[in-house]
Amino acid sequence: MKYLYLVWRNLQRRRTRTIFTLLAILVCFVMFGFMSTLRNAFTMVNAAGVDRLMMTNKVSIIQPLPLGYMTKIEAVPGVVMATHSDWFGGVYQDPKNQFPQFPVDPEPWLKMYPEFHLPPDQLKAWETDRQGAVVGRETAERYGWKIGDRIPLQATIWQPKEGSWEFNIVGIYDAAPGKDRTQFWFRYDYFDEHRRDGTGMVGWYLIKIANPSDGPAMSNRMDELFANSSFETKTATESAMIQSWANQIGDIGQIIIYILIVVFFTILLIVGNTMAQSVRERTNELGALKALGFGDGLVLSLVLAESVTLSLIAGGIGLALAWIIVAQGDPTKGMLPMYAFPVNSVAIGLGLAVALGIGAGLPPALSAMRLRITDAMRRN
Amino acid sequence: MGTLKQIFTVTLLSLRTVPQRAGSSLVAVIGITGVVVVLVGVLSIAAGFQKTLTSTGAPDRALLMRNGATTEMVSGLTGESVDTIKQAPGIARPNQVALASPSMVVVVDVNKRSTGTPANVPVRGVDASALAVRPEVHIVQGRMMNFGTNEAIVGKAASAEFAGLDLGATLTSGHLTRQIVGIFEANGSLSETEIWTDVHGLQQVYQRGNTYQSVLVRLDSPASFEGFKAWLTTNPQLELQVQRESEYYAAQSQQLTMIVQVIGFGIATLMGFGATFGAILTMYTAVVSRTREIATLRAIGFGSFAVVVSVLAESLTLAAGGGVVGALIAYVGFNGFQAATMNWQSFSQVAFQFAVTPQLMALGLIFALTMGLIGGLPPAVRAALLPISSALREL
């Protein structure tokens, strides 16, 4: 610790250079934070519940399943509860205004997703209003909806029997950052009665199981239950289902990792070059230190400490900046509902900062360690 | 000595001394190369996707769906509407047969070859008019399917991307069983990601009766569109939405293109800052190591302006090098790269190729030069402001 002052003074030797090195590293960590966020948003890792299974039609998720499966599913041992949902796919005013809309059974739905919070009085209001709908905070804020508003949605898939689709906002749900707060829920009974086709069918089932580790086995049992029927099923844990959705988009996670590798490699070169330059300029001094009795190991550590300190300061500020930028909200305006700063990337980021500091500082530190006093003192 | 001549001489001098600073110059070049590769690479995804969708739409074709439907997948048209549509004026009618191809589209889960995970692959039911309306479609392997049988043909891209869609294989999904007898090409368009089979058989399997989802019509000329549309939309029995095919697909590509462009520019700009700081460091190092040389030049009468220009020229040269190398790496590495993604509008997979267009490469070069200019400016000013007497004394 007593050498910290020396390290600090060395960093201030050429202030301009230190500042620009710091900025280069800082930018690199802003990117790291931002791209970890994107990666999480695209792979939707936050959405899955460990104890939830999802059951869809085997042919494709767009094919329906009969409502009658519900009782059969709930009769399977190990099932805590089941509920269903469907994709409404409506449009609010303009085709650009899209957000996920699901016809659901209010109480079971909220039991299935304890991560979504709805005040009890709003749930009560929802249960008494057939055209009632509950909307996530982000979507409500985006369109300026308040409780009591009447919202028309244009159908794209489900044509109404007559008239149009209109809903009363009776509640606004909230959830922790990083959870989807853009959904719009309305009552399945109203949906089923008011739609022109598809009565008595649902889009998919959600099944809560008692023991999360039984997920794969339970999934197989469910699918056997409906094998050889007219509506065969495909059941999987929610995380497997989401993973396969993310894979449909493409391997975004992998692309992001490739980009980050390019970024870190570039910054490593820049910082390494600067450190080497700065050590070369100080050859005389390092010789003097050694002449005073500083050991080889100490000289090595001093140079390494300098680059690690620089890297940690820049990395810390960079991550904090990324956090602030991400907190400003989703740049695609609602297309990435899981857009939130992943807390674990702070730890990973700081680890990377140390690694970057060591990687950049090691070559000059080694050459500083190997300096012979006589050569160093003579070199001009 | 004229200013121009001064600039020329000093610039030449500084460029000639670049090899002495090879290490640090290379760092700046590599930094800028990295930014350009990432920028051009990411944007080539958007360009490729857009190209596939826009090459699908021909200006003399119109796509008809139910009013309010945003995509074929959610549309529905009765057989009677289709018969009425065929009476509309403006449709091309060689040999008195209206070129109107009704189709039904569903998606089935087929595993991606690359990941082994299921993907939504569109199956299009068509009748014998399909090829006359879409002359770009032609069989490249095997043969055309026979209508009224359990045969199917598969687009080239679908066959490449998804497991089991090979010539001679059998596709099974629920109650649908189809023998793949041919592979077709369609000028790189969206159809190449589709599986085609007889529409009447598909209607039966999915219990759809005599209903379709869309009709693609070939007009006798692009100019006939307005009259054609007016005739159909004024008929109260038809709840129709009539669009030029090109406009329909251009609109579909917007969302994904927008996301990729926002993210691509965001990443490249951030990374650009990092590389610019790298360039500043490099040029700053160059100026520091040449302090005595620059001071000497100034002492013998070279102006500060010439010195500024020479530093900027060096940094722009390095940046241009990085830009060109980056654009070339992006071209070699990404152009034509085959990928497939989800088209959220149609809820089905689209196979496309990354497209590194000349415009993107030019954009990369402009980006590189901007970084070089900004990176060279502070060190250039510093060089110009060096106090001559003390600088001459520097080591």
Q: What pLDDT sits at residue A193?
A: 93
- C-alpha to C-alpha distance for B260 and A38, rounded to whole angstroms: 12
For the residues A158-171, what does the mean pLDDT come to? 92
Nearest chain A residue to B343 by CA: give it.
A249
Contacts of B341 in chain A (CB under 8 A): 248-250
For the residues B61-69, what does the mean pLDDT come to? 89
Residues B83 and B197 reside in one and the same domain:
yes
Q: What pLDDT sits at residue B223?
A: 92
Looking at the DSSP bridge assignments, the partners of residue B184 are B139, B155
Residues B260 and B316 reside in one and the same domain:
yes
Residues B287 and B229 reside in one and the same domain:
no
Highest mean pLDDT among A322-326, A354-358, B267-271, B308-312 belongs to A354-358
What rounded mean pLDDT belongs to chain B? 90
Q: Across the interface, which of B35, B258, B349 has its CB nearest the CB of A248?
A: B349
For the residues A96-120, what does the mean pLDDT come to? 93
Boundaries of domain holding B128: 68-238
Q: What pLDDT sits at residue A183?
A: 94
Q: What pLDDT sits at residue A131?
A: 95
CA pseudo-torsion sign B343, B345, B346, B347:
positive
Tokens (6 digits) for B34: 């990295």
Q: What pLDDT sits at residue B1?
A: 57
Q: How confident is the model at residue B363 (pLDDT cuts 50, 70, 90)?
A: very high
- C-alpha to C-alpha distance for B178 and B162, rounded to whole angstroms: 15
- C-alpha to C-alpha distance for B312 and B382, rounded to whole angstroms: 12
Q: What pLDDT sits at residue A258?
A: 85
- C-alpha to C-alpha distance for A153 and A94, rounded to whole angstroms: 10
For the residues A103-107, what does the mean pLDDT come to? 95
- C-alpha to C-alpha distance for A206 and A202, rounded to whole angstroms: 11
Give the SS3 label for residue A259: helix
Amino acid at A285: E
- Measured in angstroms, the CA of A122 and the nearest CA of chain B are apart by 32
Nearest chain A residue to B174 by CA: give it.
A59
Chain segment A283-333, per-residue pLDDT in tens:
888 888 888 988 888 989 999 999 999 999 999 999 999 999 888 877 666
The separation between the first and the last C-alpha atoms of chain A, rounded to the nearest angstrom, is 31
Chain segment A190-243, per-residue pLDDT in tens:
999 999 888 999 999 999 999 888 888 999 999 999 988 888 999 999 888 888
Q: What pLDDT sits at residue A332?
A: 64
Q: What pLDDT sits at residue B55?
A: 82
Residues B18 and B76 reside in one and the same domain:
no
Q: What pLDDT sits at residue A59?
A: 85
For the residues B109-137, what does the mean pLDDT come to? 91
Domain boundaries, given as residue ranges, for chain A: 4-44+251-378, 52-249
Q: What is the ipTM of this complex?
A: 0.76
Is B172 within the bounds of a domain?
Answer: yes
Contact B292, B394 (CB under 8 A): yes
Q: How many Cβ atoms sit within 10 Å of the Cβ of residue A115?
A: 13
- Measured in angstroms, the CA of A290 and the nearest CA of chain B are apart by 23
DSSP B304-370: HHHHHHHHHHHHHHHHHHHHHHHHHHHHHHHTT-EEEEEETTTTEEEEEE----HHHHHHHHHHHHH
Residues B183 and B153 reside in one and the same domain:
yes
Residues B351 and B292 reside in one and the same domain:
yes
Is B179 within the bounds of a domain?
Answer: yes
pTM score, two decimals? 0.81
For the residues B155-177, what does the mean pLDDT come to? 93
For the residues A144-167, what does the mean pLDDT come to? 91
Task: Give CA angle at B165 (B163, B170), nearest 5°.
Answer: 115
For the residues A364-379, what does the mean pLDDT come to? 84
Is B159 within the bounds of a domain?
Answer: yes
Residues B199 and B268 reside in one and the same domain:
no
Amino acid at B330: A
- Number of domains making up chain B: 2
Site from A237, A263, A278, A284 to mutate, B interface, most B CB atoms within 10 angstroms: A263
Residues B93 and B221 reside in one and the same domain:
yes
Interchain CB contact of B356 with A (< 8 Å) = no
What rounded mean pLDDT belongs to chain A? 88
Test B34 with A262 for CB contact under 8 angstroms: yes
Residues B232 and B265 reside in one and the same domain:
no
Q: List all residues of chain B from 166 to 205 with a beta carbon under 8 Å from chain A.
A: 173-176
Residues B227 and B259 reside in one and the same domain:
no
Max intra-chain CA distance, chain B: 95
Q: How confident is the model at residue A41 (pLDDT cuts 50, 70, 90)?
A: confident
Is B171 within the bounds of a domain?
Answer: yes
Is B246 within the bounds of a domain?
Answer: no
Is B59 within the bounds of a domain?
Answer: no
Q: What pLDDT sits at residue B237?
A: 83
Q: Which of B216, B121, B214, B138 is nearest to B176 (CA)?
A: B121
Residues B386 and B312 reside in one and the same domain:
yes
Q: Quick one: DSSP state of residue B251?
A: H
- C-alpha to C-alpha distance for A72 and B255, rounded to whole angstroms: 40
Q: Which of A118, A115, A113, A117 is nearest to A132 (CA)?
A: A118
Chain segment A123-155, per-residue pLDDT in tens:
999 999 999 999 999 899 999 999 999 999 998
Last residue of a domain, one of B238, B263, B298: B238
For the residues B339-361, what does the mean pLDDT come to? 88
Q: How confident is the model at residue A7 (pLDDT cuts 50, 70, 90)?
A: confident
Residues B94 and B173 reside in one and the same domain:
yes
Is B174 within the bounds of a domain?
Answer: yes
Tokens (6 digits) for A238: 């929610």
Q: Quick one: DSSP state of residue A174?
A: B
Strands A201-202 and A65-66, bridge-based pairing: antiparallel
Is B303 within the bounds of a domain?
Answer: yes
DSSP A22-86: HHHHHHHHHHHHHHHHHHHHHHTTTS--TTEEEEEESS-TTS-EETTHHHHHHHSTTEEEEEEE-
